[in-house]
Amino acid sequence: MKVAVVGATGLVGSKMLQVLEERNFPVTELLPVASERSVGKDVFFKGKPYKVVGMEDAIKAAPAVAIFSAGGSTSLEWAPKFAAAGITVIDNSSAWRMDPTKKLVVPEVNASVLTKEDKIIANPNCSTIQMVVALQPLHEKYKIKRVVVSTYQSVTGTGKKAVDQLMGERKKAVAASEEAYPMAYKYPIDLNVIPQIDVFLDNGYTKEEMKMVKETCKIMQDDSIKVTATTVRIPVMGGHSESVNVEFANDFDLEEVKSLLAKAPGVVVVDDLPSQQYPMPMDAHEKDEVFVGRLRRDESQPNTLNMWIVSDNLRKGAATNAVQIGEYLLEKGFVG
């Protein structure tokens, strides 16, 4: 199967190539696509070099699937052109997520909404993906009323410039180097916490926070779920962490909660207090699962659970989820 990866030279695009290779996605011909300044450069896939091509050439090559990770404006301009040529687009930007005519998909939760007619499919926000994977089995059993989530998000979610800023600050702190480094954030990130991800909106929340609110309801197909979020950038790599407080309509048994999560697709329970085992970004790094722990009853109100959720934001939060969508389409005979 001919596959295009749009934004192949970026941080997430590179991870897409890695995940396609690791999961043995049946790529018969790869089309790495990027901006004009990158055309002609080599990217490597399964040990072989492939020349980066431009958008028009990629459309002419007629891949079955194009996985986009090139930003919202690029997706808005080019995804419809790919779709018009009969190419199925899986888009990792925010461009199409809340479009009522487009499906927003986390395969473990709502892959069944997909049809052969879906030519632009939205990949959700990284912090939303890992949360709904853990929430879905609990919603089916106890019905979620309200979610309060605070995130602790890796600098890799911002991109290479943010990683360079963190490493530059760390190097300077250790070696008193005067070497310049790019500033992805307004403030230092090393030894700091920045309670802002994306721009502020009129209601005082950030765009990232409102993504979590709206996307959760759309993916879980239940507008009655109330969500409030605080999203925070912290100086780590490897994955995003979330403190999630969930109020259910019905009471729950804590051991049953653990059992439901342990059986849920894509979830790994790490919750052993005597041995101090709980999910951490350093353990989630380069893994595809969503790790859940610190499961405990909220003693301040009934039918409410506290949980800690960690996942690699470049993998399950972006690349792996997109590839899993492709795998589902292939399995159902919708592409190929």
Tens-digit pLDDT profile for the chain (336 aa)?
999 999 999 889 999 999 999 999 999 999 999 988 899 999 999 999 999 999 999 999 999 999 999 989 999 999 999 999 999 999 999 999 999 999 999 999 999 999 999 999 999 999 999 999 999 999 999 999 999 999 999 999 999 999 999 999 999 877 766 667 889 999 999 999 999 999 999 999 999 999 999 999 999 999 999 999 999 999 999 999 999 999 999 999 999 999 999 999 999 999 999 999 999 999 999 999 999 999 999 999 999 999 999 999 999 999 999 999 999 999 999 998
Of the options 2.60.40.1180, 3.40.50.720, 3.10.580.10, 3.40.930.10, the CATH number for the domain spanning 2-124+318-331: 3.40.50.720
What does the alpha-carbon distance between residue 265 and residue 230 come to, in Å, rounded to a whole number?
27
Q: Please, is 264 exposed, middle or buried when counting C-beta atoms within 10 Å of its C-beta (0-12, 13-18, 19+)? A: buried
Would you tell me the crossing angle of helices 126-142 and 254-263 to the nearest 10 degrees?
Answer: 120
Residue limits of CATH 3.40.50.720 in the chain: 2-124+318-331
Q: How many CB atoms lie within 10 A of CB 230?
A: 16
Q: How many CB atoms lie within 10 A of CB 239?
A: 32
Active site residues: 126, 240
Q: Which string of b and e fits 151-166 if b means at least 16 CB within 10 Å?
A: bbbbbbbbeeebbebb
Tokens of 66: 């194009």
Residue limits of CATH 3.30.360.10 in the chain: 128-313
Tokens of 279: 């999910």
Of the options 3.30.360.10, 2.40.40.20, 3.40.50.1820, 1.10.220.110, the CATH number for the domain spanning 128-313: 3.30.360.10
Supply the pLDDT for residue 177.
62
HEC letters along the chain: CEEEEECCCCHHHHHHHHHHHHCCCCCCEEEEECCHHHCCCEEEECCEEEECECHHHHHHCCCCEEEECCCHHHHHHHHHHHHHCCCEEEECCCCCCCCCCCEECCHHHHHHHCCCCCCEEECCCHHHHHHHHHHHHHHHHHCEEEEEEEEEECHHHCCHHHHHHHHHHHHHHHHCCCCCCCCCCCCCCCCCCECCCCCECCCCCEHHHHHHHHHHHHHHCCCCCEEEEEEEECCCCCCEEEEEEEEECCCCCHHHHHHHHHHCCCEEECCECCCCECCCHHHHCCCCCEEEEEEEECCCCCCEEEEEEEECCCHHHHHHHHHHHHHHHHHCCCCC
pTM above 0.85, yes or no: yes
